[in-house]
A = this chain, B = another copy of it.
Amino acid sequence: MSSHRKVAILGATGAVGQRFIQLLQGHPWFQIEVLAASEKSAGKKYKGACNWTMQTNLPKEIAEMNVVNCDVESVEKAGNVDFVFSALPGGLAGPVETDFAALYPVFSKASAHRMDPDVPLIIPEVNPDHAALIPIQRKARGWKGFISTDPNCSTIQLAITLKPLMKFGLSQVMVSTMQALSGAGYPGVSSLDILDNVVPFISGEEDKMESEPQKILGSFDGNRICPADFMLSSSCHRVNVIDGHLESVFVKLDDNPTVEEIEEAFIQFRGEPQKLNLPSAPENPIVVRKEPSRPQPRYDRDEGKGMSVVVGRIRKDPIMTAKYLCLGHNTIRGAAGAGILSAELMVTKGIA
């Protein structure tokens, strides 16, 4: 069966929407058919509706596409689509995604449905088996489509590094983040707020980081997800960096592995996307750098085309078991790339 699909992007003019467009250029399976955004943008050509902030040029054929309103009727009128990527802002995403999910698979970057019990919160390398929630969701809600969600950007990269540590008996995680500006969208953070400064608060971020990983790393018992039972504490901060969240992580591992064992677990880690050789899967989900001052956002965020998480400075911790730094590209692995990889997984599994 062909894996070719036509897709709509909801919230196509925002920072994550732009990243979806950029990453889907030349994608072997997925073709952008419809661009949808808010009423303010609807009716305009994309180039007139969007302040394009990607480093690569706006593709010409995308520039000339008409933007339509973010509702099922408008999208259906604009083209036949197989499924939908949602890059909608939080508040708006809830009801709009529900409307679409009645008819179409929805791969959502929004937080609205992440913690719904019947909605999978997927990282394809970490918990592909959670896709088993989808038939349950469809049946319960009477939908032809479904909603599959990606975690928060700062959660995804952390959870990828926690997965190979689970076997050591992970019981506690403490994390302090240094997050990039693009995580706040566009225009997002005012230059006057961040130049020569750090903003030690990101609204809602700590709550997401402290609740999502347990669901992601939980187990599916045939009916529902049983959350993993480690505890997590986070402190989230914004630094003057364009892309790439850096996280200082301290973990308690009951089996007390050595630094070498932890490093080996990171390096050996592979998931289903690697086995299935999915188009957007990085060769290594986790890349370990051994230089004392890595990972660094500017140098490491594009590792694996932005889909690898880079880990460094793994060392013993005098209080917990170990500490390390991890870095991920927040709008690729942490957002648009995550959604595309999830869709690739679901297509391969025959779900979307």
Given A237-B246, A242-B192, A296 and B197 touching (CB < 8 A)?
Answer: yes
Is A192 touching B199 in the complex (CB atoms < 8 A)? no
How many Å lie between the Cα of A100 and that of B323 in the bound state?
A: 41
Q: Is A319 an interface residue (CB 8 A)?
A: yes
Which of B197, B232, B250, B296 lies in contact with A174, CB distance below 8 A? B250
Is B318 touching A231 in the complex (CB atoms < 8 A)? yes
Which of B176, B191, B241, B317 lies in contact with A190, CB distance below 8 A? B191
Q: What residues of chain B lie closer than 8 Å to A53, measured between beta carbons? A: 192-193
How many Å lie between the Cα of A82 and that of B233 in the bound state?
A: 51
> Nearest chain B CB to A145's CB is how many angstroms away?
33
Is B242 touching A174 in the complex (CB atoms < 8 A)? no
Is B231 touching A319 in the complex (CB atoms < 8 A)? yes
How many Å lie between the Cα of A197 and that of B240 in the bound state?
A: 7
Given A174-B174, A192-B53, A296 and B200 touching (CB < 8 A)?
Answer: yes
Residues in A lying within 8 Å of B, measured CB to CB? 15, 53, 55, 172, 174, 176, 178, 181-182, 186-201, 203, 210, 231-233, 235, 237, 239-242, 246, 248, 250, 292-299, 302, 312-313, 317-320, 323, 325
| Additional pairs, 9, CB under 8 Å, beyond known A190-B190, A195-B195, A200-B295 | A55-B302, A181-B191, A192-B242, A196-B297, A198-B297, A199-B293, A200-B293, A201-B313, A233-B250
